[in-house]
Structure 1
Amino acid sequence: MLHTQTTTSDLFKIYTRKVAIALMATAIVILAWSNLFFNISINANAATLDGVSDQIEGKVQKDIGTTRRGVGDLLNNPTEEGKGAITQAKGKAKQDIGTTKNKLNDAQDAVEDTSESLVDSVKDFFN
């Protein structure tokens, strides 16, 4: 039988790496949640929550991708880094779709307000 002897130094390196990964993942999750609540501008006049939910889901997915990339980088795992990059890109796209939906909804509201104002002006002209 082949026995390998693990030194205290080796154990220290192993546990230091594990603690570093845990701390980094925890810090990224905390930063993701703080950004989620403080960085997304939600228009109070938006008629739908669809765009807002897409923004939130996209932000969370993007932060999960960032975490996966960081863990893959820390563990020298290119596959995990690649999956993290893909997840991050999907999250960014979903977040952008939510922002676009909100802007389209705002534009629709503005057009409706303008058309109502025009109709009222025409009615007033003929009365």
Structure 2
Amino acid sequence: MTGGAQLTPAEAGTRYEVFHTDCPAREVVDHVTSRWGIWVLISLRSGDLRFYELRESIQGISEKMLAQTLRALVKDGLVWREVEPTTPPQVTYGLTEFGRDLGEPLAELFDRITRRLPPRELG
């Protein structure tokens, strides 16, 4: 995941050309819908988390992939990052207003999916 685009609200009547390859919105969509981006946004909906708490909440993600995903989402303005000057440094992440706004429909999508799946068999 490289790059990123800090999106600002479009002026009234103007829209991004999302089907054009050079549209900055496409890059943000790629980051949000990446293998791990969606899980980071969903995990942070419950509250701010430190790096290792976030890694533990998303089973199967490596430190490297979490760091790359967080870097892209921070650059896109979806996630904020705060470093506490301790030894070792403690890094906390949370959703920006933009990230919370995108997290709502993602949570709704997950709720719809899990409501439609057949019940899990125990045992």
Instruction: Determine if the TM-score, normalized by the shorter chain, exceeds 0.5.
Output: no
If each structure's strand is expressed as a fraction of its own residues, which one has the higher value? 2
TM-score by length of 2: 0.26
TM-score by length of 1: 0.25
